[in-house]
Amino acid sequence: MGYRAIVIGSSTGGMEALRIILEVLPKDFPVPILVAQHISSHSDNYLAKFLDNVCKVSVKEAEEKEKASPGQVYLAPPNYHLLVEQDGLISLSVEARVSYARPSIDVLFESAAEAYNRDLIGIVLTGANSDGSRGLKKIKECHGLTIVQDPNTALAEAMPRAAIGATKVDYITPLTEIGQLLNKIIKGKSGDKSGYE
């Protein structure tokens, strides 16, 4: 069995970074993508509408208890943590902020690592804090695949550098190459992860 889900964490500069990655994915991309982007608690769903308009994959804000489906991108709604349950259902939480953030990247990554184990890809993008580093480490411990945006291509380097410092990352990749890397991994050797461990 190949990869069953991708999780992405982004903060400062994330809107443009997400656009660059997601717009190269085909409409029939065969796994769901769950995204925790640090946004204002008072934000409307502009980010979901913007990305849905420019991408072939469908992009929406996640809803409580919906099933994560292939070819769909789910964004954490403002002021909610986004989690994945063991059965692949999406869960939303208003529990305390983690690393000053809700949605927290660590919360998404850790729950997804427990749900998907080795069948998960985790990606940390641009951001100005260390959110995501603990979650990416958890994904690696569960034998998932880890990708971090090359800090030299990030609007804010702190988050990718913290992730690189936290665990042995499989790929440190320039922003403009991450989308094609995902296409290659998912389309190509998605069932063969022997080289990643």
* 42 counts as catalytic: no
The pTM of this model reads: 0.93
Output the pLDDT for position 197. Answer: 33
Active-site option among 10, 38, 170, 190: 38
For the chain, domain boundaries: 5-189
Output the pLDDT for position 2. Answer: 87
* 91 counts as catalytic: no
Could you report the per-residue pLDDT of 85-133, keeping only the tens digit for each? Answer: 988 899 998 887 877 778 999 999 999 999 999 999 999 999 999 999 9
What tokens does 191 get?
């069932």
User: CATH homologous superfamily of domain 5-189?
Assistant: Methylesterase CheB, C-terminal domain (3.40.50.180)
Output the pLDDT for position 45. Answer: 77
119 forms beta bridges with none
Helix (H), strand (E) counts: the chain: 6, 9
Active-site option among 81, 104, 130, 131: 131
Output the pLDDT for position 39. Answer: 84
At residue 134, the 3 state secondary structure works out as helix
Active-site option among 10, 11, 104, 190: 11
How far apart CA 64 and CA 76 sit, in angstroms, is 10
Output the pLDDT for position 195. Answer: 36
Output the pLDDT for position 43. Answer: 73
Q: Which residues, given as ranges, of the chain have pLDDT below 50? A: 190-197
Output the pLDDT for position 56. Answer: 96
In degrees, rounded to 5, the angle at the alpha carbon of residue 111 between the alpha carbons of residues 120 and 53 is 65
